[in-house]
Chains A and B, each alone.
Chain A
Amino acid sequence: MLAEIEHPDPGPTRLAVGGPVAADGPRSVDGRVLRVPAVDAVGLEERAAALGGRSVKREAKLGALSLLIRCIDLTTLEGADTPGRVQGMCAKARRPEPADRTVPPVAAVCVYPSLVPVAREALVGSGVKVASVAGAFPSGQSELSVRLADISSAVAAGADEIDIVLNRGAFLAGDHRRAFDEVVLAREACGPAHLKVILETGELGTYDQVRKASTLAMAAGADFIKTSTGKVPSAATLPMALCMAEAIRDFADQTGRQVGLKAAGGVRTAKQGWQYLVVIQEVLGPAWLTPDLFRVGASGLLNDVLLQLRFQASGHYARPDDVSTD
């Protein structure tokens, strides 16, 4: 309970690369010291396993599956992405189950910045948001001005939500201030768009670091904190999400601001999906069970959820080829 992140002075801060930091946003925390307690790995993983063991059946399962669909950021982040592929995915996002109108659209489609216009057009009138990775995703290893310009142009192209990576280089080198200030600037560059900050938990090494990075990103103005890029072998895990959820809860307690959680990478099955919902429900409370405060970034998850829904409807398992793979 001793480690703490000193919240920056309320006064203006300047980075070496220049640019004043906005006086609002993270500064609304009124300069209080945010708690960053230690995390015991054994206890955390036990708790995550216990929550993962909750039995979600029948009407609870249907409700959870419905919510899961509405929280999905349907994602394609490949070098080989084309307008055609993104259009196909957008069609799926609007109407995941064309034959059943009770199945809702997903929360958002998540693409690279160059494909934002394509997604924007394909989703007109659907209510499905366009999310774009930006800021030299997935490594973040570009000059700050380049990363900020990447964000601004994605927003200008019509992205509602921006997913950036935390500067792990700075964070792991101990330069927390730099990592913090860069998120502040990214938040500013986002303008009206929502900012999700990817911690890339698989590169941070310990739960203690994940907890610290979570609080840092939230204090700097992140609207969401997100587990992973999906580009490193170790992606979202239930204990990581639990660790971040505990940080979100403490942050809300101290500041009154509700930050969202996005699990990304490695969430492939409906069962994994509702395990995250259980973690959110029991740690953060039911208020967080909404697409405004919970997302799951995935490509394959949606189809498994659809197969589960078909099973609930028909009593027998459909074949994987019965749902479309775009």
Chain B
Amino acid sequence: MPGELAEPTGVLAGVDPADGGFAYAPSRESTDLVAIQDRYGLWIGGEEVEALSGRTITTTNPATEEPLAEVAEAGPEDVDLAVAAARRAYEDGWRDLPGRERAKVLYRVARQLQERARELAVLETLDGGKPIKESRDIDVPLAAAHFFHHAGWADKLEWAFANRTPSPLGVVGQVIPWNFPLLMAAWKLAPALATGNTVVLKPAETTPLTALLLAEVLAEAEVPPGVVNIVTGGGATGASLVSHPGLDKVAFTGSTTVGRQIQESLAGTRTRLTLELGGKAANIVYEDAAVDQAVEGVVNGIFFNQGHVCCAGSRLLVQESVAELFLDKLRRRIATLRVGDPLDKNTDVGAINSAEQLGRITSLVEAGVEEGGERWQPACALPEKGWWFPPTVFTGVSQSSRIAREEVFGPVLAVLTFRTPEEAVAKANNTPYGLSAGVWSEKGSKVLWTAERLQAGVVWANTFNKLDPTSPFGGYKESGFGREGGLHGLASYVSLGRR
């Protein structure tokens, strides 16, 4: 044996023997790869330009409350320029580019997203507060997958719509939320570009940075100038974009309140509209479910991305016969969630996206307590700086309470029980929303019986929050209309003529 370890101390001297558990050492993803500019302009006509408005907004790291950058706030005159640039790009070539050429561009975007995946993931986590393992394993790979998928469609549109002639709509205004900033940009851009439209995209006020990095990626992938324009800003910028008369279509993902305003403003115009709005999804757990995996599914359903998910399984409907056992297992599982530094690879639940959102969550939770719900939270130490909310479970919730009806958009689960499948379906559907739902049972016929009766755009069976570019996603009732992903999503970006 070699003698280099012969020193009296030894490698395990003083090491905690780990009997009785070991604490994970901090395992922080490095931020060296990411260069954040102090100031960002708008991305119009293929270049970064100063906003005519002269105004800026500050984007902040929600985990530390430290400002990350100053970002231009586009005014109406900036939106005018962006729409005009998109119109020029549409008429000067993108519209008439053969599908196979558009496909090449989109494939390049997809590959470049993969190439810069780590950088994008770190930036997403810095700007939005979501755990690095989610931005790394879900947001960025799925964003690339959306470009790959739609690149594949670009030269096959004639076959996508049998006996119809698809043609692009023109210039599309897209407004996306802060919960999946890059992924939502990909969801919106990929189908629009594949079908020959040009775009003005407005990222969310609190999370503009990955969209601005995406602009760089698009340029590297040789997306022609003006095909994608990015105007940053808050609600006012969004309002001037969606009401711009130069648009042929508006696509919005966000709250139902704003969606309703947009629909009002577009009523009577020829501008097409798709809306992907809020949700209050039910996760129905039958007594014959695979209980440990159902617990995982419920945890994933509500705590994925701190519950900032429109399709989050925010209502647990558990069959009364197993409710006690299930909730016991659920609480124990939740107690193992690691809440904290989003850049740590072992973090399960990150920071709340903004102080404003934290306030909204806090006030709804208070309302839940006032209405007699029983609040449970695991013992978990939250960082001192930043915006945080612990995983929360409400039991003793009635179907009428606010916590069971309103979208919290945070890590808060409302638990209700049911006795029969009919009651489960009735309770699940008794909501103004209808975006998603989950069914947990080992009995296939019962899963299908239930799924057929659920008024939700997506129903997951024995899983939850599974998103895929080939699968249409969208809502019933106040969760909006139109679909994203799959053939249905593609159809939202073409007009179909008769052959």
Q: Are B12 and A246 in contact (CB under 8 A)?
A: no
Residues of A within 8 A of B17 (CB): 63, 66-67, 70
Q: Are B11 and A310 in contact (CB under 8 A)?
A: yes
Q: Are B292 and A281 in contact (CB under 8 A)?
A: no
Interface string of A237-281 (1 = CB under 8 A from B): 000000000100000000000000000000000000000010001
Please name the residue on chain B nearest to A103 by beta carbon: B12
A98-B1 in contact given A43-B462, A54-B346, A60-B23 (Cβ < 8 Å): yes
Interface centre among B2, B26, B293 (most CB of A within 10 A): B293
- Compute how far the CA of A58 lies from the CA of B24 in the bound complex, rounded to whole angstroms: 9
Tell me which residues from 307 to 326 in chain A have a Cβ below 8 Å from any Cβ of chain B. 309-310, 312-314, 322-324
Tell me which residues from 1 to 20 in chain B have a Cβ below 8 Å from any Cβ of chain A. 1-6, 9-13, 15-20
The answer to whether B406 has its CB under 8 Å from any CB of chain A is no
The answer to whether B84 has its CB under 8 Å from any CB of chain A is no
Q: Are A46 and B296 in contact (CB under 8 A)?
A: yes
A67-B22 in contact given A1-B288, A2-B288, A101-B10 (Cβ < 8 Å): yes
The minimal Cβ–Cβ distance linking A240 to chain B, given in whole angstroms, is: 14
Residues of B within 8 A of A324 (CB): 1
> Which segment, of A8-16, A72-80, A165-173, A283-291, faces chain B?
A283-291
Q: Are A322 and B15 in contact (CB under 8 A)?
A: no
- Compute how far the CA of A312 lies from the CA of B11 in the bound complex, rounded to whole angstroms: 7
Q: Are A47 and B22 in contact (CB under 8 A)?
A: no
Q: Are A313 and B19 in contact (CB under 8 A)?
A: no
The minimal Cβ–Cβ distance linking B45 to chain A, given in whole angstroms, is: 42
Residues of B within 8 A of A56 (CB): 22, 24-25, 27
The answer to whether B268 has its CB under 8 Å from any CB of chain A is no
A55-B292 in contact given A99-B5, A314-B4 (Cβ < 8 Å): no
The answer to whether B287 has its CB under 8 Å from any CB of chain A is yes
A104-B15 in contact given A47-B296, A289-B20 (Cβ < 8 Å): no
Contact partner, A287, options B20, B22, B23, Cβ 8 Å: B20
Q: Are A313 and B289 in contact (CB under 8 A)?
A: no
Interface range on chain B (Cβ under 8 Å from partner)? 35 or more
Q: Are A62 and B12 in contact (CB under 8 A)?
A: yes
Q: Are A39 and B290 in contact (CB under 8 A)?
A: yes
The answer to whether A304 has its CB under 8 Å from any CB of chain B is no
Q: Are A102 and B1 in contact (CB under 8 A)?
A: no
Residues of A within 8 A of B26 (CB): 57
Q: Are A53 and B133 in contact (CB under 8 A)?
A: yes
Residues of B within 8 A of A104 (CB): 12
A286-B293 in contact given A2-B287, A60-B25 (Cβ < 8 Å): no
The answer to whether B474 has its CB under 8 Å from any CB of chain A is no
- Compute how far the CA of A13 lies from the CA of B19 in the bound complex, rounded to whole angstroms: 39
Please name the residue on chain A nearest to B462 by beta carbon: A40
- Compute how far the CA of A97 lies from the CA of B13 in the bound complex, rounded to whole angstroms: 13
The minimal Cβ–Cβ distance linking A215 to chain B, given in whole angstroms, is: 13
Please name the residue on chain B nearest to A69 by beta carbon: B12
Q: Are A99 and B6 in contact (CB under 8 A)?
A: yes
The answer to whether B297 has its CB under 8 Å from any CB of chain A is yes
Q: Are B15 and A55 in contact (CB under 8 A)?
A: no
A57-B9 in contact given A38-B289, A67-B19, A246-B292 (Cβ < 8 Å): no
Q: Are B25 and A100 in contact (CB under 8 A)?
A: no
Contact partner, A290, options B13, B19, B325, B462, Cβ 8 Å: B19
Tell me which residues from 363 to 419 in chain B have a Cβ below 8 Å from any Cβ of chain A. none
Interface string of B292-305 (1 = CB under 8 A from A): 11101100000000
Q: Are B11 and A290 in contact (CB under 8 A)?
A: no
Q: Are B10 and A103 in contact (CB under 8 A)?
A: yes
Contact partner, A43, options B10, B24, B290, B346, Cβ 8 Å: B290
Of all A-B residue pairs in the complex, the 6 with the closest CB atoms, nearest first, are A286-B21, A43-B293, A102-B10, A63-B18, A55-B27, A40-B290
25 CB contacts below 8 A, A to B, read A1-B288, A1-B289, A1-B322, A35-B325, A37-B290, A40-B290, A54-B24, A55-B346, A56-B22, A56-B25, A59-B15, A59-B25, A63-B22, A66-B15, A67-B19, A97-B1, A99-B4, A100-B11, A102-B11, A102-B12, A103-B12, A289-B19, A290-B20, A312-B11, A314-B4
Residues of B in contact with A (beta carbons under 8 Å apart): 1-6, 9-13, 15-27, 133, 287-294, 296-297, 322, 325, 336, 345-346, 442, 462-463
Known pairs A54-B24, A313-B5; list 12 more (Cβ under 8 Å): A1-B291, A40-B290, A43-B294, A43-B297, A56-B25, A57-B27, A58-B25, A66-B18, A97-B5, A102-B12, A289-B20, A289-B22
